[in-house]
Amino acid sequence: MHPPGADVVVVRHGEIGTKSEHVGTKMERRLRENLDAVLADRGVDAEIEQRRFRLWLHTDDPEGATAAAADTFGVVSASPAVRVDPTIESIREALAEAARQGYDGGAFAVSARRAGVESAHPFSSTDIEREGGSAVWNAAEAAGVDPEVDLDDPDTELFVDCREDDALVFLEKRAGPGGLPLGTQDPVVALLSGGIDSPVAAWELMKRGAPVIPLYVDLGDYGGVDHRARAVSTTETLARYAPTRDVRLRIAPAGDAVADIAEAVDVGRMLVLRRFMFRVAAAVAEERGAVGIVAGESVGQKSSQTTANLAVTSAAVDLPVHRPLLTVDKTEITARADEIGTFHESTIPAGCDRLAPDYPETRGRLGAIREREPAGLSERARAVADRLEVVEGARDGVGDRDPAEGETA
Ligand SMILES: Nc1ncnc2c1ncn2[C@@H]1O[C@H](COP(=O)(O)OP(=O)(O)OP(=O)(O)O)[C@@H](O)[C@H]1O
């Protein structure tokens, strides 16, 4: 919610501030470019101004600009604000206006910060809070609201940032994803199954700055049109967070290879299959200059995801397999999927479920699994990776950056 007259959105970032000046400056530039692209992608008109440890968005659409900032990796919070003169009188007036808009009962608090030269104002932040609080109180009473103050746990918080030349009044600090600007790490291949977990895992890597190359392994008769459609639609949602990037889904035509695995392997079948998928992903990574694989596995969630089995599947490739959900419970993963917009409730049985043998292996041993693996799987994985289908049109204005470009801290 924004106060009346808001025409600026204050955007805060976090970890960039811990970097060296050289790296921090580059990351700030990348954040600005990414934010600009998200704004443009959503048709929000805003001009970005670089401030110390902040970006300011000058805009006539404070809600749209705040929502865009809150979906940009690297942003910790965003506040649509009104700017007034740095005097107690102007601040009181703006707070009273803001209260008429955004305070309709419950407990409130005014939180003030003063930045800049100490002697710039003849008042302290405590003065602002006291004077501002009384202005809010009066405005509420005049509007028929029964005001109450709770400084520790308010229902409504009204903020004042008082600086040398102006004061900002705002009603919220909308949380962004945090993390680092997308493109500040080298890319990884994201194995997307169309299920709930893998898009969240991909999003987590994006949040830390790594662009993803989404890859769906088509299981042929064991997969399904709906399964594939879910991978396409979750990729489109992920792409909304990355308009500067090529986030088109790649589909690997693995039906024949999967059918052969299902035919040849019973005990340990899912491990052989996952090892095959990792090999396909590694081949795509090599081709596209990616430096890792991200998967949505979480310890113990499925029989193929026990600690022993994760060791067996990871050993199929030299590239690191990143599993950001490793220790996250399913309820939390589902909530996160809902938040980021990739959650699709579905009763469609996943292809892997249909492939699972009656007695799945829970404690695979690398040597035994290697022996059971049909010969030539690495070559077949490379062949499948050479015949990728790229799903066009997932997003307009697909990014044009080189996926191998990164600027690691
Ligand atoms: N058909 C597929 N194409 C690409 N990646 C896949 C596919 N199936 C599984 N994966 C990858 O392997 C991981 C584990 O898959 P598994 O089938 O055990 O989980 P799932 O519950 O079906 O999928 P998800 O983890 O996405 O919910 C997935 O998180 C995903 O990263």
Residue 91 CA, chain-centre distance (Å), reads: 35
What is the per-residue pLDDT across 140-183, written as a single tens digit (0 to 9) for each? 999 999 999 999 999 999 999 999 899 999 999 999 999 999 99
191 lines ligand 1 (CB under 6 A): yes
- Using a pLDDT cut of 90, give the percent of the chain over it: 79
Gap from CA of 126 to ligand 1 centroid (Å): 54
> Domain containing 361 — which CATH number?
3.40.50.620
How far is it, in rounded angstroms, from Cα 102 to Cα 229?
A: 42
**Residue 303 belongs to a domain:** yes
Domain count, the chain: 2
**Of 121, 141, 174, which residue is a domain's last?**
174
> Could you list the residue range(s) of the whole structural domain that residue 20 is in?
8-174
**The pLDDT of residue 409:** 46
On average, the pLDDT of the chain sits at 92
**What is the distance in A from the centroid of ligand 1 to the CA of 128?**
54
Measured from the CB, is residue 216 less than 6 Å from ligand 1?
yes
- Over range 74-82, report the average pLDDT: 98
Is residue 36 included in any domain, yes or no?
A: yes
30 belongs to a structural domain: yes
- Return the bridge partners of 168, or none: 83, 161
User: Residue 345: what pLDDT?
Assistant: 55
Pick from 128, 145, 57: which is nearest to 90 by CA? 128
42 in any annotated domain = yes
Same domain, 240 and 360: yes
**Cβ of 217 below 6 Å from ligand 1:** yes
Rounded distance between C-alpha atoms, residue 293 and residue 284, angstroms: 10
pLDDT in tens, 90-149: 999 999 999 998 899 999 999 999 977 667 788 999 999 999 999 999 999 999 999 999
Instruction: With a cut of 90, say whether residue 353 has pLDDT above it.
Output: no
- Residue 374 structure tokens: 């049909």
pLDDT tens digits, 22-53: 999 999 999 999 999 999 999 999 999 998 88
Distance CA 305, CA 341 (A): 25
Shared-domain flag, residues 63 and 111: yes
pLDDT band at 289 (very low <50, low <70, confident <90, very high): very high
Mean pLDDT, to the nearest integer, of 74-83? 98
Task: Please enumerate in sequence order all residues whose Cβ is within 8 A of that of 306, keeping only pairs 6 or more positions apart, or say none.
Answer: 299, 300, 362, 363
Whole-angstrom distance, CA of residue 242 vs CA of residue 224: 27
- In sequence order, the β-bridge partners of residue 212 are 188
The answer on pLDDT for 260 being more than 80 is yes
Instruction: Check: pTM over 0.90? Answer yes or no.
Output: yes
**Residues with Cβ < 8 Å from 277, sequence gap 6 or more?**
191, 217, 254
Whole-angstrom distance, CA of residue 118 vs CA of residue 379: 68
Q: Are residues 41 and 162 in the same domain?
A: yes
Do 71 and 214 sit in the same domain of this protein? no
269 and 352 share a domain?
yes
Span 219-239, average pLDDT:
88
| Atom 31 of ligand 1, residue of closest alpha carbon | 295
In a domain, 405, yes or no: no
Strands 8-13 and 167-170: unpaired
Predicted local confidence at residue 222, as pLDDT: 87
Q: Do 203 and 94 fall within a single domain?
A: no
Does one domain contain both 130 and 209?
A: no
Q: 309-343 burial string, b = 16+ CB within 10 Å, else e?
A: bbebbbebbebebbbbbbebeeeebeebbeebbbb
Classify the C-alpha dihedral 25-27-29-32 as positive or negative.
negative
Does residue 108 sit in the same domain as residue 197? Answer: no
CB proximity list for 266: less than 8 A, separation 6 or greater: 357
Position 407 in a domain: no
The residue to which tokens 């500040």 are assigned:
184
Give the amino acid at 16. I
φ, ψ of residue 214 to 5 degrees: the values are -75, 135
Q: Is residue 398 part of a domain?
A: no
Would you give the distance in Å from CA 351 to the centre of its chain?
27
Q: Domain holding 21: CATH number?
A: 3.30.2130.30
User: Is 221 in the same domain as 120?
Assistant: no
- How far apart CA 223 and CA 295 sit, in angstroms, is 18
Q: For residue 37, which of 79, 75, 72, 81 has the smallest C-alpha distance?
A: 72
Same domain, 19 and 80: yes
Distance 324 CA to ligand 1 centre (A): 14
**Are 198 and 93 part of one and the same domain?**
no
Do 312 and 369 sit in the same domain of this protein?
Answer: yes
Residue 321 included in any domain: yes
**CB-ligand 1 contact for 202 (6 Å cutoff):** no
Please identify, among 174, 196, 212, the residue that sits at the C-terminal boundary of a domain: 174
Share of residues in the chain with pLDDT > 70 (%): 93
Domain boundary among 141, 174, 207: 174
